[in-house]
Amino acid sequence: RLIRRVSSFSRSSAFLSIVANSFSVKTGGNFQVKKPDGAIRIMQWNCEDLGGNLLWYTDNNIGRKRAEEFIRQYRPDIICMQDYSDFSGRIYLSNEAFMRDTLGYPYRAFAQHSSQLLPYGIIRSGINIVSKYPITAQGILYYKNLTATEAILWADIVSDGKKLRIVTTHFRSFYVFGPSEFAETIPPGSLPDSAIIMEKNMLKKFFYFQRQHTQQAIQLRNFLDTCSVPVILAADLNTIPAAYLYTLVKGRMTDGFRGNATGLGATYNYLLPNIRIDYLMHHPSIELRQWKHFEDGFFNHDHLLGDYTPPAQN
């Protein structure tokens, strides 16, 4: 009987935890465009290659322009970008130059996941951190034992003598609605996204990528546990808050979604609505001043914004 009661309590606790992770009720005030004094503003953004830069093709130009206007208005200090691509060649505008020269982010850390050499240019894809603060240290930790390249990218900055580590990553895409057979003709590393395996059975695909996500979550958690500098994690985890992997990655960190939004906080807006897979979390020693999920994503993901004050350090 006692075992049954403990088991029932455990199930109830697990259910309450899932609800708490997945659903939020906003308790604070409205997000202010003006950043609080002493705060660092971080933007989390899966930018879907940051398209709209083909010289003669207007597709995605509207989203790109809206992103530019948003960044100019809210002026984040640091932007963490997944599914980012650098384009070079005679038909492209450079995304690197766009972030550096047009929007004013002179400092950068980039981890390449794949590249495409085309007759008219080169596309290098991966994850990107751009900053108005000088980056004092940076590093790339590639995930082990994956069939496609993904990485953990980190960059350290100093504000008022306080150190802060910004970490970004992208867990592999499920490619749920991909082709109905293996795309053996596609060379590894040639796709802008990480979804190279295109299995015909959706259930098999789910279990395959779930194993990949588990490996990534364990390695990410191990890395975060070794950080001696307070961390802010901005990431597309391709994992919902109800999943154990979310709990594993989150650890002792605080998810800014809790108490700063109302509802499920869906961040993905294509084919599978109402799921939250983009996150902006911080170490408990960091003070969160304000946080917002912007529900009008420029492309297929919404963007998140948070203002943080690092703790006093010796």
pLDDT per residue as tens digits for the range 118-170: 888 899 999 999 999 999 999 999 999 776 789 999 999 999 999 999 999 99
Interval 188-202: pLDDT, tens: 444 434 444 554 456
Question: Percent of the chain having pLDDT more than 90?
Answer: 60
Which tokens in the block code for residue 134? 């000088």
Give the residue-averaged pLDDT of 260-270: 86
User: pLDDT class for 265, splitting at 50, 70, 90?
Assistant: confident
Give the largest CA-CA distance in the chain: 73
The more confidently predicted of residues 60 and 9 is 60
Encoded amino acid at 170, one letter:
H
Residue 112, token pair as written in the block: 């390449």
Q: What is the pLDDT of residues 14-38, one digit of tens each?
A: 556 677 788 889 998 899 999 999 9
Highest averaged pLDDT of the listed ranges 88-92, 172-176, 193-197: 88-92
pLDDT value at position 263? Answer: 85
- CA 61, 130, 284, 169 torsion: positive or negative? positive
Instruction: Please compute the mean of the pLDDT values over residues 262-281 and round it to a whole number.
Output: 83
Q: What confidence category does residue 272 fall into, taking pLDDT thresholds of 50, 70 and 90?
A: low
Q: Is 253 a residue whose pLDDT tops 90?
A: yes
Tell the burial category of 183 from Cβ atoms under 10 Å away from its Cβ (0-12, 13-18, 19+).
middle
Torsion of CA 139, 142, 144, 149, to 10 degrees: 180
pLDDT at 285 over 70: yes
pTM of the model: 0.87
